[in-house]
Amino acid sequence: MKRSDRILNEIKITFPSLSENESFARMAISGLVSQLNPQIDELSDIKTAVSEAVTNCIVHGYKDTVGTVAMTAKILVENEIYIRISDKGCGIEDIEAAMTPLYTSAPDEDRAGLGFTIMESFMDKLSVKSRVGKGTSVTMRKKLTTRKAIDENGREA
């Protein structure tokens, strides 16, 4: 494991793909990230990116059924946040098309098609992996400009 990938703290949660759990995911990530005392705009960006990823799982991954959404989030050394949100839903046939701004697989549902664009603009790194019939995984990373520096031993510097 690279030094920059050393984990200082992490959460792993699963929850049903219900719309009310989008706010639960936002609160869970907020609780973890708040340990670093981030700038308000950084915390807002992360919460919004998580919200978009979870909403995609709920709306597109499972469509009209209820499945499970998994979220793993880690605080890494050097004030970096790693977040992985996944489902075992229908998957994405064409990831490149899905990541195009304004693309939506549900045009009749008044969707803007900006989920991946928002995630990409608010986070430093975004990776999407998907297999049709198996599900989708979104991985995001962001380095914070925290007001509290954390050393490699997890202590305030």
**Residue 138 within a domain:** yes
**Residue 113 within a domain:** yes
pLDDT attached to residue 109: 60
Residue 132 — very low, low, confident or very high, per pLDDT cuts 50/70/90?
A: very high
pLDDT tens digits, 24-67: 999 999 999 999 889 999 999 999 999 999 999 998 888 889 99
**Residue 154 within a domain:** no
**Residue 157 within a domain:** no
**Residue 150 within a domain:** no
- How many distinct structural domains can be found in the chain? 1
**Residue 151 within a domain:** no
pLDDT tens digits, 73-111: 999 988 899 999 999 999 988 778 777 765 665 656 655
**Residue 118 within a domain:** yes
pLDDT attached to residue 147: 60
Name the pTM for this structure: 0.84
pLDDT attached to residue 45: 96
pLDDT attached to residue 54: 96
Q: Specify the CATH number for the domain of residue 96.
A: 3.30.565.10
Q: Domain range spanning residue 78?
A: 3-143
Query: Which of 27, 39, 139, 34 lies closest to 83 in space, CA to CA?
Result: 139
Structure tokens at 28: 């869970």
**Residue 23 within a domain:** yes
Whether the per-residue pLDDT at 149 is higher than 70: the answer is no
What positions carry a catalytic annotation?
52, 56, 111
Average pLDDT over residues 141-147: 84
Burial of 144 (0-12, 13-18, 19+ CB in 10 A): buried
User: How far is 156 from 150, CA to CA, in rounded Å?
Assistant: 5
